[in-house]
Amino acid sequence: MRVSAAFPSPYLKASDLQGRRIPVKILRVEMQELGDELKPVVYFEGKAKGLVLNKTNANTISAAYGDEMEDWEGRETVLYETEVEYQGRRMPGIRCLVPPRKPQKPTDEVGADDDIPF
């Protein structure tokens, strides 16, 4: 039996991703007490475990979707495993990647002789 099976965690860890990039949709973000700190935990549609947000991942998501965490609900991100530095050591960690926005079709085209609209 694996130690991780004997002591399951309600939170995602890098090994849960099994080296894959996992596209997810944000269900909700909750503030939870972890030890003596209050931290945001993001939950995803169809996934049991939440991801405890560190500053790097929170900044990545907020840069794309805004500072208000409630506004992240229904938004997409991709989780992937990478090596991170934690307390001066290199170790596996999870990072979020916001997929690029799909280009919108232009409503009207500007010709070469037209004035630029900005």
Span 55-84, average pLDDT: 96
Span 67-91, average pLDDT: 95
Res. 112: pLDDT tops 60: no
* 73 exposure class (CB count in 10 Å sphere: 0-12, 13-18, 19+): middle
The 10s digit of each residue's pLDDT in 26-56 is 999 999 999 999 999 999 999 999 999 999 9
Distance of CA 78 to the CA centre of its chain: 6
Is CATH 2.40.50 the right assignment for the domain spanning 8-97?
yes
- Token readout for 52 is 């405890």
Distance of CA 92 to the CA centre of its chain: 16
Span 66-87, average pLDDT: 95
Q: List the domain boundaries for the chain.
A: 8-97
- Token readout for 110 is 């500007």
